[in-house]
């Protein structure tokens, strides 16, 4: 009886040893195939997050009025200040021309001097989401 018990233990140890030595579950390489539409949606989301109307930066509002006049002011501004970002934002019933993308108020106020010479009714704003 004792020999049988010892043989059972030895055979169990041998089985455990061989069953665990062949485990290779962590060595497999995985490749993912993403749909092209997913990449497009992800790129659109990134663009929206970087949109000048959605971030927490200071801006100048240089015009508020009709669509045609807003487009005219925007093109004039872009010709004069090529390095500063500018966009048209629609808030019912007016179109607004927002320029700049300044992280701090101090940085915005430094640039206000140059813009205020050309546009007298400029406003320093911080758009909310």
Once rounded to an integer, what is the mean pLDDT over residues 89-103? 89
pTM: 0.56
CATH number of 48-125: 3.30.70.1070
Greatest extent of the chain over all pairs of C-alpha atoms, in Å: 105
Across 10-14, 48-52, 115-119, least confident range: 48-52
Residues in the chain: 129
**DSSP strand pairing (58-65 vs 123-125):** antiparallel
Whether the predicted pLDDT of 49 surpasses 70? no
Residue (of 67, 114, 58) closest to 91 by Cα position? 67
Q: Is 6 left (phi over 0), alpha (psi -120 to 50) or beta?
A: alpha
- What is residue 84's predicted lDDT score, i.e. its pLDDT? 86
């Amino acid at each position: 009886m004792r020999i049988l018990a010892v043989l059972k233990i030895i055979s169990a140890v041998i089985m455990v040893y061989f069953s665990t030595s062949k485990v290779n579950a962590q060595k497999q390489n995985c490749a993912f195939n993403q749909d092209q539409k997913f990449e497009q949606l992800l790129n659109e989301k990134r663009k929206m997050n970087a949109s000048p109307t959605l971030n927490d930066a200071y801006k100048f509002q240089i015009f508020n009025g009709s669509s045609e006049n807003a487009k005219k002011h925007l093109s004039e501004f872009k010709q004069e200040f090529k390095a500063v970002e500018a966009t048209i934002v629609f808030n019912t019933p007016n179109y607004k021309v927002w320029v700049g993308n300044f992280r701090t108020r101090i940085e915005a106020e430094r640039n206000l001097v140059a813009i205020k010479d050309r546009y007298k009714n400029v406003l320093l704003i911080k758009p909310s989401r």
